[in-house]
């Protein structure tokens, strides 16, 4: 949550000269997104977010992310709409970095979503899947099951430092979920958000208002996206699963698209895999962030607790489906 690249006034003026956005009235770095630098930009034509892509985002992925937002916005799915320059091109360069301006999406993200928020989010996720189903581009999931053994490699000590005995449990999780790519081959695939945490969903007066941060979006199993949301939305701050929230999320999803029997059958494995994926990347961030850094990484133990729950589930009904 920081601004990594400073934008000089002259660079901003030169950059905006290629748009039809009018005169800048305000320009402030915002503490949103870990990977990129984001600025709130207001002009006499409206409010926008200017994003500069930092090193951790692969340049070759940007047309996919920007194209997806454009596609969804064209379908009236509430998400930031990329604003093209006068030449029709949205992905441009500012201060030596790839940069894009998107429309400002009103709404507030919720630290502690209620049941009705979970229900609305489930429906929004299914709608996102439906609207993106005819998006022409694809992008492999770089953090899918095939990547998990690599992410785990060499992390035994870090896991043990967090909680003695954890490494062996993670080894089991890796074993149990490593066949997920194969067994889920017959499940409905499509574009997934892959990072739809409460941070990335906006609400207004209780109602769903939109989705931001598509920088993990990729082509993968649709039900895996629901499994990610179960992990992100249906656990309390104590790490305990809240069956009512799980039920609300799945019921909301099914107001738009019914899960197939095979998706329900694999939900425990997908949920365990999703928890493993976030545990592993958080373990890496945790271990590689200096203790005194200003930006505190997420505690991987939150996801160790979720994994402990997923190891006990047997069917989709354990998640409220």
The contact set with a second copy (CB under 8 A) reads: 1-3, 6, 8-10, 12, 23-32, 40, 42, 104, 106-112, 204-205, 290, 292-295
Closest separation in Å from C-beta 236 to a second copy: 14
Half-sphere exposure for 83 (CA within 13 Å, toward CB): 21
- 79: alpha, beta or left, given left = phi > 0 and alpha = psi -120 to 50? beta
Residue number, 55 or 111, with CB nearest to a second copy: 111
φ, ψ of residue 310 to 5 degrees: the values are -65, -25
Shorter beta-carbon distance to a second copy: residue 18 or 146: 18
- The span from the CA of 203 to the CA of 209, in Å, is 5
Give me 234's structure tokens.
């249906």
36 or 177: CB nearest a second copy: 36
| Smaller CB separation from a second copy, 90 or 201 | 201
CA angle at 18 for the pair 3 and 64, rounded to the nearest 5°: 60
Task: Take residue 47 and report the two structure tokens written for it.
Answer: 């409010």
Closer residue to a second copy, CB minimum distance, 189 or 197: 197
| Residue 105 per-residue DSSP state | P
Specify the pairing of strand 92-94 against strand 36-43.
Answer: unpaired
Residue 141 CA neighbour count, 13 Å, CB half: 24
| Alpha-carbon distance values, 250 to 118, 122, 159 (Å) | 9, 6, 31
Residues making up the chain, counted from first to last: 321
User: Measured from the CB of residue 10, what is the shortest distance to a second copy in angstroms?
Assistant: 7
Rg (CA), the chain: 20
The residue (of 41 and 125) whose beta carbon lies closer to a second copy is 41
Task: Report, in Å, the least distance between residue 111 CB and a second copy.
Answer: 4
């Amino acid at each position: 949550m920081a601004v990594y690249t400073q934008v000089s006034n002259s660079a901003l003026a030169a950059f905006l000269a290629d748009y039809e956005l009018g005169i800048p009235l305000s320009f402030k770095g915002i503490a949103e997104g870990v990977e990129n630098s984001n600025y709130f930009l207001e002009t006499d034509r409206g409010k926008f977010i200017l994003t500069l892509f930092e090193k951790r985002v692969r340049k070759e992925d940007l047309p996919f992310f920007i194209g997806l937002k454009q596609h969804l916005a064209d379908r009236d799915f509430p998400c930031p709409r990329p604003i093209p320059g006068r030449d029709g091109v949205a992905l441009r360069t500012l201060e030596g970095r790839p940069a894009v301006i998107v429309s400002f999406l009103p709404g507030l993200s919720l630290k502690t979503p209620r049941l009705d928020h979970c229900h609305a989010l489930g429906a929004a996720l299914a709608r996102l899947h439906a609207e993106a189903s005819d998006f022409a581009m694809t992008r492999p999931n770089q953090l899918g099951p095939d990547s998990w053994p690599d992410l785990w490699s060499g992390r035994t000590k870090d896991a043990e430092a967090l909680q003695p005995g954890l490494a062996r449990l993670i080894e089991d999780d890796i074993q149990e979920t490593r066949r997920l790519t194969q067994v889920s081959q017959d499940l409905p695939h499509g574009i997934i958000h892959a990072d739809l945490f409460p941070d990335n969903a906006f609400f207004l007066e209780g109602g769903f208002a939109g989705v931001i941060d598509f920088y993990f979006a990729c082509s993968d199993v649709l039900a895996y996206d629901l499994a990610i949301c179960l992990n992100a939305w249906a656990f309390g701050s104590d790490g305990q699963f809240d069956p009512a929230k799980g039920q609300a999320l799945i019921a909301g999803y099914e107001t738009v698209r019914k899960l197939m029997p095979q998706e329900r059958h694999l939900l425990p494995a997908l949920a365990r895999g999703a928890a493993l994926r976030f545990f592993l990347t958080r373990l890496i961030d945790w271990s590689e962030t200096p203790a005194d850094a200003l930006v505190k990484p997420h505690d991987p133990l939150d996801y160790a607790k979720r994994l402990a729950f997923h190891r006990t589930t047997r069917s989709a009904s354990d998640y409220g489906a």
